[in-house]
Chain A
Amino acid sequence: MWKTELTASTDHLTCPFCGLACDDLQLEHQDPNGPIDIRNGCETARNAFTQLMAAETRPPMIAGRPVALEETLERCVSRLREARAPLFGGLATDVNGMRAALSLADQCGALLDHVNSDALFRNQLVQQDSGWMTTTLTEARNRADLVVLIGSQWHERFPRLIERVLSPPEALFTETSERRFVLIGPNESQAVPAELRGCIQNVIQIENRQIGALAGLLRGLVAGRPVRADAIPDVNAETLLTLAEQLKSASYALFVWSAAELDFPHAELTVQALSELVRDLNQTTRAAALPLAGTLGDITVNQVCTWQSGYPLRTDFQQQGPRYDPMLNRHQDILARNECDLLLWIAAIPGGGDPPSTDCPTLVLGHPGLLLERPPEVFIPVGVPGIDHPGHWYRSDAACPLPLGQIRDLGLPSVAQILTQLGQRLAQTAQEETPC
């Protein structure tokens, strides 16, 4: 559904505050710009909606001084025209915001990277290097009979995963009461979510950095190779031998992780080890991975970047065409090495923190409540997709782009509108500069 009129009451609002993209939020509000009542969402969603609706809307600013929007646009155009190596970072936006960012990047030779890219690339590099076998939320909800939950933060980062996928009232192909769970990670036993406590088969206490080794060991055990099941200190050999058997006899084993919490060097190798375990299991039975991501639109902008440029994020357009380098084009390193001369930071969805501190001129397109510690050269308030304007964004599983609605009208432009305008003005000035 694409609605430009305001939604006063709905039971299918899509939430833009985490990668689960729950689209069953119920909303009631009498005055479109007044307080709202959100039901069905998690606490994180309710808080985020409430805060955003209550936040003071900040005006366009240059160096912290309120100015007319027009003035900020002109300043952006002149900065973009001067820049030799602009960096478009943050990129917390929707499909059309990213479409416009790519068009502008192509026009002025910019590099694109998302605020969450470190986490994104832990998965992306594996898909690129070896491929993987994955599944989606509905498939997992109806089919999984054994669920392996990796790490310890998946339920904080994706609060309704249990309700919507892991422990629904019913499932098509399994009895949800018989579904079993295995927890692998730095889990304190008391931290196990109450809803799952009765169905936990095993809790394997292990540091996240050790999970890759454990996955490798399980691959050996599943394949019947002569590996030592007691090779990992503090992990019980019997437990692993049992788990290997359970995985082989499961009809549809599901492996769930959030790469964002695998925050250590070369964590992509951990993801790869898990993915290879899933593929090995598929030689004789079925299994699938469910990597959790998508928060702040990382999956969304990566998808759009991939179809328009042919490459994932960390692509630059400095030499008339796209160049991709997932290592060299990491935005934090580009800034640290002084390899850019302008930062355009996009934060239309709250939750991504401040733009990185840099000596480069910084242009920020931010949600209207964004409070910055240090005023950037230019701040332009933009609408939040799903609240201030309709749009699209992707769920964690990358297969389901969902429509985002509009629930208020503060007259805020979208990221797409601002970037399209900048592109048009830039093209115009380029034309004027070309001698006849």
Chain B
Amino acid sequence: MLTKLAGGRLYDPANGIDGEVRDLYIHDGRILHHPPPGETPGQTFDLDGKLVMAGAIDMHTHIGGGKVNIARAMLPEDQRAHRRNRTASTRSGGGHAAPSTLAAGYRYAEMGYTCCFEPAILPINARQSHMEMADTPMVDTGGYAMLGNDDLLLQLMSEGASQETINDYVAWTLHATQCIGIKVVNPGGINAFKFNARTLDVDEQHPHYPLKPRDIIRTLSRAVAELGVPHPLHVHASNLGVPGNRTATLATMAAAEGFPIHLTHIQFHAYGTEGDRHFSSAAAEIAEAVNRLKNVTIDVGQVMFGQTVTISGDSMHQHANHHHAHPHKWTCMDIECEAGCGVIPFRYKDKNFVNALQWAIGLELFLMVEDPWRVFLTTDHPNGAPFTSYPHLIRLLMDRSFRNDQLARIHPDAAAMSLLGSLEREYSLYEIAIMTRAAPARILGLTDRGHLGSGARADLCVYRPSDDAERIFSSPMLVFKNGEVVVEEGRITRPLQGTTQVVRPEYDRAIERRIGDWFDRHHTVRLANFGISDAEMAEGIGSPVEVHPCRPRSVT
């Protein structure tokens, strides 16, 4: 059937369209700009100037995997306070900071999101991540496999293995775990914590291996580029949350030596040590570096006030921060000679100096990084705040007077130390569409998503215009997934299951002998049971894969 969307105001930055009124057609799950010859629309939506954008893409959200499930299990109070009842078309669930998979999928779709990426998949736990995401309805999913603390990589690097060998291991990992990118969390640091190190700076030597975090960043960012994985190495830098960590963040950017690098939740890595409390914003310095270094992209990890839970692979810094747990319970785990995790419930308070300044630092970064194609809208769900706060965050970016009203409420010393009040920038709808649609699709290599061009997948949403951006983005009028209406007036009308987005760089299979030997000698899982096949994804896990192409790159 042909569907016509008549008279919508289109925001499609990938194709340079900024608020033009145009008709769109949907045919066989794809967007068309003209009806196919001889076809007349079976269904027409008269949009009358309503805002039309591609489905939103969250490129960094902790929605599936072992540590997310630990958070759910630890926080029945979070579920109890946010129950979501069964309806005729949707199943029950709940939760706010650590929502159930079902509740997360429904809520994402109700906000106009059609694609979400779990940024920290522990290879041994990849099955669980994919099973949880398969049970997250409405959205397509994907994930980044964690390397850089696994003993096999560190051993290979310590032995002086060639870059080609490392590349083969990285590619093998992507295949085995059915992932679309590579993530490194506190490079070497999670591993060092197992040797009882409590910090590991970028140029500090690991307590066991003759390596520094800088070496890991350089090697992995190069591997990802040479393999042609579209998404740059996704980096949770060293020294998360530590005052003065700006130097580590800048050193991490430099460590990529010109290869593409994505620094995630950079708000948590943009701290100075100025002032009476020895905690200050380094947002200006970090933003200046991002503006200058074209190989660098970031997402912010904005903090919002209220109860949440922090879940991270960074067991080293999660353990260091366990005293801040609210409510006072916390879990840390060492996992399978691969990495670890830490789960700490946390309440950000606007009257707390540090939390208030974290909030301001995130917004400063958004407003001072000039190129919206290189800064992504995240709260590092749920670490800075649950993803449900995105509409509020968008209003903070688009509405200066609203932002300044909020600024007036936070701890006055934090407000006084922040540049935020002086920043006049207001994001446009076009720029919001860049950072939530066009740019994430581009940086992940999803060529048929994040835009409204002819032939694009018909994942799109229709919003009612309003002066209040929070209202616009809280509740779209219509959401289409694969060309079907799935949400009307912010409510699910048609539940569906998504697919898993992966890449498959080529590699020399000889590496599997080396990996097999390592497994036989040291692991408690057989290599043959480690990798996930396409048939297992489709039939057992319940989320078939879609493969996206790789294109090898060099230094930019």
Write the residues of chain A forming the contact surface with B, with a CB cutoff of 8 angstroms.
1-2, 4, 11-12, 14, 23-24, 95-96, 99, 103, 106, 124, 127-139, 141-143, 164-165, 170-173, 251-252, 282, 285-286, 288, 302-304, 306-312, 317, 319-322, 324, 390-392, 398-403
Contact = CB atoms under 8 A, between A and B. Distances in A.
- Mostly, the A contact residues are mixed
A172 B536 contact: no
Contact of A306 (B73, B193, B336): B73
B125 A399 contact: yes
B14 interface: no
24 contacts: A23-B529, A96-B540, A124-B73, A127-B73, A128-B73, A131-B74, A135-B335, A136-B333, A138-B525, A143-B194, A143-B334, A172-B337, A307-B68, A307-B100, A307-B101, A308-B102, A309-B92, A309-B93, A310-B103, A322-B94, A390-B540, A399-B124, A399-B336, A400-B336
B536 A322 contact: no
A402 to B, nearest CB: 6
In order of increasing CB-CB distance, the 3 nearest A-B pairs are: A2-B536, A310-B100, A321-B92
A176 B237 CA distance: 34
A165 B524 contact: yes
Contacts of A134: 331, 333-334
B157 to A, nearest CB: 15
Given A392-B131, A400-B124, A24 B526 contact: yes
Contacts of B536: 1-2, 403
Interface stretch (B76-84, B228-236, B361-369, B425-433): B76-84
Most buried by A among B98, B537, B541: B541
Nearest to B518: A172
A425 to B, nearest CB: 18
A116 to B, nearest CB: 16
B70 A127 contact: yes
* Chain B, interface residues (CB within 8 Å), range: 35 or more
Contacts of B537: 2
B102 to A, nearest CB: 6
Contacts of B15: none
Contact of A310 (B95, B131, B330, B535): B95
B76 A308 contact: no
A310 B331 contact: no
Nearest to B523: A138
B540 A23 contact: no
Contacts of B69: 303, 306-307
Given A2-B540, A309-B92, A23 B332 contact: no
Interface string B484-526: 0000000000000000000000000000000000000111111
B135 A307 contact: yes
Contact of A288 (B91, B334, B523, B531): B334
Contacts of A251: 195-196
Contacts, number: 201
Contact of B79 (A12, A322, A402): A322
A126 B181 CA distance: 35
A165 B337 CA distance: 13
B451 to A, nearest CB: 32
Interface string B330-360: 1111111100000100000000000000000
A14 B526 CA distance: 9
Contacts of A400: 124-125, 336, 525
B331 A136 contact: no
Given A1-B531, A308-B93, A136 B72 contact: no
A106 B88 CA distance: 12
A413 to B, nearest CB: 15
B127 A392 contact: yes
Contacts of A303: 69, 128
Contact of A142 (B93, B100, B337, B526): B337
Contacts of A317: 86, 92
A322 B535 contact: no
A106 B92 contact: yes
Interface in B299-344: 319, 325, 328-337, 343
B208 A139 contact: no
B272 interface: no
B122 A399 contact: yes
Nearest to A171: B522
Given A23-B526, A131-B331, A321-B86, A139 B76 contact: no
A24 B529 CA distance: 9
B285 interface: no
Nearest to B122: A399
B334 A308 contact: no
B524 A131 contact: no
Interface of B: 64, 66, 68-70, 72-74, 76, 78-80, 83-86, 91-95, 98-103, 122, 124-125, 127-128, 131-132, 135, 151, 193-196, 208, 319, 325, 328-337, 343, 521-526, 528-529, 531, 533, 535-537, 539-542
A11 B527 CA distance: 11
A288 B332 CA distance: 9
Given A96-B540, A106-B86, A164 B79 contact: no
Contacts of A4: 535, 539
Nearest to B193: A286
A172 B334 contact: no
B258 to A, nearest CB: 34
Nearest to A317: B92
A399 B66 contact: yes
B191 to A, nearest CB: 11
Most buried by A among B101, B328, B531, B542: B101
Contacts of B85: 319-321
A399 B146 CA distance: 14
Most buried by A among B64, B525, B533, B542: B525
B525 A23 contact: yes
Contact of A2 (B208, B336, B533): B533
A165 B80 CA distance: 39
Contacts of A11: 526, 528
A405 to B, nearest CB: 9
Contact of A322 (B83, B98, B128, B334): B83
A360 to B, nearest CB: 24
A143 B333 CA distance: 14
B528 to A, nearest CB: 4
Given A173-B208, A322-B79, 19 more contacts: A2-B539, A12-B529, A23-B525, A95-B131, A99-B135, A124-B73, A127-B73, A127-B331, A131-B329, A135-B333, A136-B333, A141-B524, A142-B151, A288-B334, A307-B69, A310-B78, A322-B92, A391-B540, A392-B127
Contacts of A172: 151, 337, 522
Contacts of B79: 309-311, 322, 324
A398 B540 contact: no
A129 B132 CA distance: 24
B15 to A, nearest CB: 38
Given A138-B337, A399-B124, A1 B528 contact: yes
A25 to B, nearest CB: 10
A130 B329 contact: yes
Contact of A133 (B98, B325, B333): B333
Contacts of A391: 540
B329 A129 contact: yes
A307 B523 contact: no
Contacts of B70: 127
Contacts of B195: 173, 251, 286
Given A306-B69, A321-B86, A322-B79, A399 B333 contact: yes
Nearest to B70: A127
B526 A12 contact: yes
A137 B73 CA distance: 21
B535 A2 contact: yes
Most buried by B among A135, A288, A307, A399: A307
B19 to A, nearest CB: 40
